[in-house]
Structure 1
Amino acid sequence: MSDGFSLTIALLVTVVLGALATAFLWLMRRRQAETAAGIAALAEMRWREFARLVVEALRGRGFEAEGIDQALDRGPQAELRLRRDGQTWLLACRVASARSQLGTGPVRELADAVRVNAAQGGILATPARINAPTRSAASRLELYDGEALWALVAPMLPNALRDDITLHARKRSVRETALAWTVAVALGVIAGLVPAFVGGPAEPSTEPAASESAPPPAEAPAPPAKPAAPGPALDSAAPADPNRDQFERGEVIHAVSVLPWVERALWSTSSTLVIQQREDVDQLQIEEICAVLARYDALRASRLQLQPPAGSQRKVRFLQCRAY
């Protein structure tokens, strides 16, 4: 170690920065990542499935649905009638991309329906974001989007799906924490080198005084190169088109959902397809799903999470049609 390097300063800076970054990533960033993954999973649901999930979540807040099956048959633009404390409420569920913004149209339509039906109020639930101008048109309405929507419906999700979302957020936090500590070490090394440049207390010299003709002292050595980050290697390939990925996943959901033994299907993560079965099936039926995934290069190695039908003694199964 070169003269002037302060190991104490380097360790202190590394520990402080690393600890602060770790606290932020695990106490705040991980929760944000889990919420974002959950909202993305809701956005990939079919409207009927999303509406039933919201209705079940509202039961815990005292609401009861009236004629839910008939209302669902009218399509995504229909308002569902709810009752609470003897009063009528209207519910509108709008499925949209988690990155999109909901326009004022659906909000105004629900507000008008509340007035026409003399309802006590209205509830609008959507994975899309609702901005301030849209909220200003929400007279007598309760709006659930983003974190509010996730807090409402998260307790209603299947345990396997919630665990998958939590695991996805935890893995991301581990990668980000490793990168944060790498940066903290690099900054600690730089901070430890500062005394070499600003100068420290001079030690008494045992050499005779240099003559006026003596050559000038050598310049201080250059600081060592910044260590390379040992974190996970980044993929050098260009990122995939998110619009194309979303389109292909939507096609897979549509193709799988029409199979007679499938109750519903949704993407819990970008690489896990959750399938709720109507009935127990064997490997031959599962190959039907593999055939659908094989049409798409980016999805053919996706993991299948098979949820057993109601009343079945089977456990949840995880399969993969093929490896990369």
Structure 2
Amino acid sequence: MTASSLLLALAVTALIGGVATAWLWLVQQPRTEREEGLRLLSAMRWREFSRLVVAALHSRGFEPEAIEDAAERGQDSVIHLRRDGKEWLLACKQGLNYRITPANVSDMTDAVRFHGAAGGVVATPGVTEPAARKVAARVDLIDGDTLWPMVQAQLAPGVRDELAGKARQAATRHVAIAWAGALALGLAGAAVMPKGETANDAPAIAAATTTAATTAAPGPAANAATTTVATPVHAAAPISEGEQRDEVIRMVSTLPGVERAMWSTRSTLLVYLIDEDANPVRGICDVMEKYESLRTSRLHLQPPAGAARPSRFLQCATY
């Protein structure tokens, strides 16, 4: 490889690798953290989720209604709030795949009219259909992209640190892959660059020719050198706890009766079941026991929506 082609390879590698690194850390990492956070919100019980939303709305001037007012009103399908002395209604729609539709807006508008409220709010970790925004005159719509920055500060510091750690690990892996790809592209570009034997290239060419001749020459020294280069020994690096957690999620998600799995907290593995009769506990425990630091984690078995069987909490091993 000539000096000019080497410089080209370095320039292409630095350019592509630098751009990819900046995008992964500044754009993709916050996006990954938001996606993980919205999955966590979707896995919460409705009551926990609604409390986070109410606390997040405090920054917008909303206050929960007085306990006496709530007791007098009794059961209701919406949460009553107050802002500037006026009543507002809040509907929390849980589920990462939930879509706020014009029908949802119409229902909240009717509720606002029935209660004589000043307005309403519909919040979900899912998405809002464009048609719903067009008809939302007296209703504020808060979906995943808007909800996460509001709710993030309400989570426990340990939960926020875990979500940020997952996003950093993913970004680090992708940065390494990006630099490997950038190097490959740089070398490919240098390989197809027109080559010319100039006076400056002569010493390098002569050195390469001498090296090739030495390598090809028979003899014990040459064979020993060849053997040494051909058999490098690398010690296997232990995987981190974050990689262990990713392995647990991957293996548990493939078990019969399991729809998907995720770490809802640092010490709780949330497992979504395909049907309420599924019982993959033995298989899950077999996976967990492979990792000393994770085998005492709590299991949260979540049956599908509408199932008669409640959620179950158990532990494969104790300290």
What interval of TM-score do these two structures reach, taking the shorter chain for normalisation? 0.5 to 0.7
Output aligned runs, 1:1-324, within 5 Å: 2=1, 6-67=5-66, 74=75, 78-96=77-95, 98-195=96-193, 198-200=194-196, 240=253, 245-246=258-259, 267-268=264-265, 272-273=268-269, 294-295=281-282, 297=284, 301=288, 304=297, 321=316
Amino acid in the other structure paired with 1:126: T
Q: What is the CA-CA distance between 1:193 and the residue it aligns to?
A: 1.2
Q: Distance in 2 between matches of 1:248 and 1:194?
A: 47
Pairwise CA distance, 1:189: 0.3
- Size of the aligned set, in residue pairs, is 243
Take 1:243 and 1:35, find their aligned partners in 2: how far apart are those partners? 29
Q: Displacement of 1:112 after TM fit?
A: 1.1
1:64 Cα deviation from its structure 2 partner: 1.3
Identify if the C-alpha distance between structure 1 residues 104 and 239 changes in structure 2 by more than 3 Å, giving closer, same or farther: farther
CA distance in 2, matches of 1:33, 1:114: 36
Per-residue CA distance 1:155-174 (angstroms, 9 max, x = gap) = 11111111111111110001
Q: Could you say if the C-alpha distance between residues 47 and 67 of structure 1 is closer, same or farther in structure 2, counting changes exceeding 3 Å? A: farther
CA distance in 2, matches of 1:272, 1:111: 39
1:163 aligned counterpart, secondary structure: helix
Q: Pick the structure with more helix per residue.
A: 2
1:238 Cα deviation from its structure 2 partner: 9.9
Q: 1:86 to 1:137 in 2, by over 3 A?
A: same
Secondary structure of the structure 2 residue equivalent to 1:95: coil
Amino acid at match of 2:284: D
| Residue 209 of structure 2: aligned partner | none
The answer as to whether partners of 2:99 and 2:126 remain within 8 angstroms in 1 is: yes
What SS is found at the alignment partner of 2:166?
Answer: helix
Give 2:31's aligned amino acid: Q
Q: Distance in 1 between matches of 2:157 and 2:284?
A: 30
Match of 2:302 in 1: none
Q: TM-score, normalised by structure 1?
A: 0.64
**Change in CA separation of 1:100 and 1:239 when aligned onto 2, cut-off 3 Å:** farther
Higher relative contact order (CA 8 A, sep 6+): 1
CA contact (8 A) 2:99 2:129 kept: yes
**Contact conserved, 1:6 with 1:193, CA < 8 A, in 2?**
yes
**Mean CA deviation greater in 103-112 or 171-180:** 103-112
CA distance in 1, matches of 2:190, 2:165: 37
Change (3 A) 1:106 1:5: same
Q: 2: CA distance between counterparts of 1:5 and 1:39?
A: 49
- On the 8 A contact 2:255/2:280 being kept in 1, the answer is no
Separation (CA, whole Å) in 1 of partners of 2:191 and 2:251: 37
1:255-277 residue CA offsets vs partner (Å, 9 max, x unmatched): xxxxxxxxxxx8248x8449xxx
| TM-score, length-scaled by structure 2 | 0.64
Measure how far apart 1:200 and its partner are. Answer: 3.6
Identity %: 36
Structure 1 CA distance for aligned equivalents of residues 162 and 298 of structure 2: 10
Instruction: Mark the runs of 5 or more structure 2 residues left unpaired by the alignment.
Output: 203-238, 271-278, 289-293, 300-314
Unaligned stretches of 5+ in structure 1? 207-231, 250-265, 275-291, 307-319
Report the CA distance between 1:71 and its aligned residue. Answer: 9.9
